[in-house]
Structure 1
């Protein structure tokens, strides 16, 4: 019995050592479960789930997917560092802010395949010169959506048209200080990135004069209301508009030619990223034209990937509602990081306006 006990102990020790050896080999070869993970932080419903499955099957990485509902919420969570996100997808001005706060890792261009697929006009933007920290994911505009059962073609083509008395209590606005203040700034002839107290006050006064026409200031509910035909006109983003148009044939989207916002959502690698190899694999996967096209079809937003555009149905890629002509594009502005002082000014003036409703 004593000899058997010693023999059994030896077997256990050898097994344990072999187990450690296998684990070490797995870890060294990248097969360790922890090393085969990719943690993504993205907007809700902002990627085709089938692409996540495809990525996992192709690469062997297991995706952990978390969502946020605002750039500010995303910034705060990454800044706190509770979760080591490998990939995040913030908007233009927030990328600039994250860089200033040292929350981003510089990307290695040698590890990125497919950046040449992106339209040159969507690269090297002011918020990230030379795309040192980000890769374009989607882009879009701020515009007006209207229902042709109540609005005639050409009746609402410009921001100023929204102030017409006939739209009293019929206009819905997206609940976004930057966008609605930006709309009022453009309507007043100013930049959407204005830091002039006088210009901002003038825009706010003009916005307050719009109050009688405003039926509601809402967030995601705006899609439901417009699809149901509960309002004839709304101000919203192109991607939201695409979903509305797909569910109601009477809806149309227009970007005022005098100017509006050109926004970008880009892929970044937060400074806390642990699985950098997986992050680059995901970036390269999303840069492949067939994947970018599939994602654009699912989400409804405009893809910056020119080769992906070629794969989209002709009716989609030539739709000026979502791929505006060059003249309109010239008058679009990308939001800049205004800094906390001016963000507070915009928010306060917008809150003042909402109190009128």
Structure 2
């Protein structure tokens, strides 16, 4: 009886353990399921940008920007602030998975290898390429609705930038359907005014000027070097009155600067090989230091890096200036786009992606990013004075300045160059220093051109040209060298045959 009772108790205990265990397991499963649901409720936004290209926060009190319209301080990173802002405004959690790459080509290779991103920030030519190859997700119809409070991009983008993105098209579609600007700039020459005159620096032909042999730098990438070469090769034509005064000057200028014909690419190769023998170096980043230390007297620079270089030189009481070549300047952009493969039809993710772009476009955040990066935001601010106040804070004349001039920026801030609200009073030297690089005048922008992307045939031709320039061009081997090489080959063959005959006879 006791054994039976014992067995019954054991069975009951086992049953309780099973039930208890099942409950415990079920509890674990339920917890995991709830965790999964919570994770699913958090929108994961995968963002890829360039290195050091967004404010990381952690500003000290000395970093605070005190503007007429209010103070700006980056306590958190822009990424963290966006995540908090999105939850406050939309009631949903978003987590940004942020990564960085170094070049547009590296980005494109990662995409073709299958890396998944939702939002990326390529340069203008890569935006064009991705549009042409159908990689991109178009913006929602309401992205440009200025009546929506949080549409900071549509409300604040510069009229000049908006017009540029609207008018430039790929396969009949405007850039603006797929891309929102982030930073923009031009190219020019940073130079030491004690060694180089403004006139000498104001032409692309300076890169082959023997007066500055081994004292000038040029960019170590095919697009920028090619642009400078075209400007130098066609200098006389581009500066001629008949060309400048033609009714379709801007269209003709773009055509000339984007001439990728076989004959012109051959001319570019020949010219750049001459430049290679004249330049101190082809570089990407080292020229900033080389200019400051005096190793070189002039360098081809992007405007943002030009500002940085001049700022650093100022700290050492060493003045550098900036000149925009009279032939033409390259207008460039970096912009935000969404990838079809990342968004993948997910409306919540698309809203988060567009909101990320809008958050970066808030005037205060545009200023934070400009302060951190050193480049110029595409945001003018719309009804907000924050961005213009920031320009005044940086470059406006004060009571101690004696040589003061007007510097009109209406074309960028309101679309009207004569808009008196946007005429800065600045020290005269800023017309050829940092301000002229960061916010060029309308006159400079009138002679700007955007370099287009290359199709497959053009890419093959241009890449081979660049290999010949940077590495070795077999076509340049003199005839006498070929003759000598032929004699050596024949002699070696004859010697080999003779050795074989001698070996057989032995």
TM-score by length of 1: 0.89
Separation in 2 of the partners of 1:248 and 1:143?
17
Name the residue aligned to 1:106: 138
Q: 1:88: Cα distance to partner?
A: 0.5
Separation in 1 of the partners of 2:32 and 2:218?
60
Name the residue aligned to 1:55: 82
1:39 matches 2:65: no
1:68 matches 2:101: yes
Q: Is the 8 A contact 1:42 1:88 kept in 2?
A: yes
Separation in 2 of the partners of 1:149 and 1:53?
46
Name the residue aligned to 2:21: 9
Stretches of structure 2 that go unaligned for 5 or more consecutive residues are: 1-12, 58-77, 87-92, 145-150, 239-255, 344-348, 396-408, 410-423, 425-434, 474-506
Q: 1:171: Cα distance to partner?
A: 0.9
Stretches of structure 1 that go unaligned for 5 or more consecutive residues are: none
2:457 to 341, 344, 354: 341
Larger displacement relative to structure 2 (200-209 or 326-335) = 200-209
Q: What SS is found at the alignment partner of 1:320? A: helix
Q: Is the 8 A contact 2:208 2:279 kept in 1?
A: no
1:202 matches 2:271: no
Q: What SS is found at the alignment partner of 1:234? A: strand
2:352 to 278, 292, 309: 278
Separation in 1 of the partners of 2:109 and 2:121?
14
Separation in 2 of the partners of 1:354 and 1:14?
66
Separation in 2 of the partners of 1:227 and 1:38?
40
1:173 to 204, 210, 218: 218
Q: Is the 8 A contact 1:135 1:266 kept in 2?
A: yes
State how 1:273-352 maps to structure 2 within 5 Å. 273-274=342-343, 275-307=349-381, 309-314=387-392, 315-316=394-395, 319-352=435-468
Q: 1:327: Cα distance to partner?
A: 1.5
Q: 1:180: Cα distance to partner?
A: 1.0
Q: 1:12 to 1:95 in 2, by over 3 A?
A: same
Larger displacement relative to structure 2 (122-131 or 62-71) = 122-131
Q: Is the 8 A contact 1:173 1:234 kept in 2?
A: yes
Provide, for residues 26-52 of structure 1, a one-character-per-residue CA deviation record: whole Å limited to 9, x for no partner. Answer: 366x24xxx3x2211111111112212
Greater helix share, structure number = 2
Q: Which has the higher contact order (CA 8 A, sep 6+)?
A: 1
Name the residue aligned to 1:159: 204
Separation in 1 of the partners of 2:142 and 2:14?
62
Name the residue aligned to 2:325: 256
Q: What SS is found at the alignment partner of 1:269? A: strand
Larger displacement relative to structure 2 (154-163 or 332-341) = 154-163
Provide, for residues 34-81 of structure 1, a one-character-per-residue CA deviation record: whole Å limited to 9, x for no partner. Answer: x3x221111111111221232233334332222222212111211222
1:85 to 97, 106, 117: 117
Q: Which has the larger radius of gyration?
A: 2
Q: What SS is found at the alignment partner of 2:20? A: helix
Pairwise CA RMSD:
2.5
Separation in 1 of the partners of 2:230 and 2:298?
20
Q: 1:311 to 1:356 in 2, by over 3 A?
A: farther
Q: Is the 8 A contact 1:269 1:279 kept in 2?
A: yes
Separation in 1 of the partners of 2:441 and 2:53?
25
Separation in 2 of the partners of 1:165 and 1:271?
50
Name the residue aligned to 2:232: 187
Q: Is the 8 A contact 1:119 1:306 kept in 2?
A: yes
Separation in 2 of the partners of 1:141 and 1:207?
21
1:223 matches 2:288: yes
Q: What SS is found at the alignment partner of 1:273? A: helix
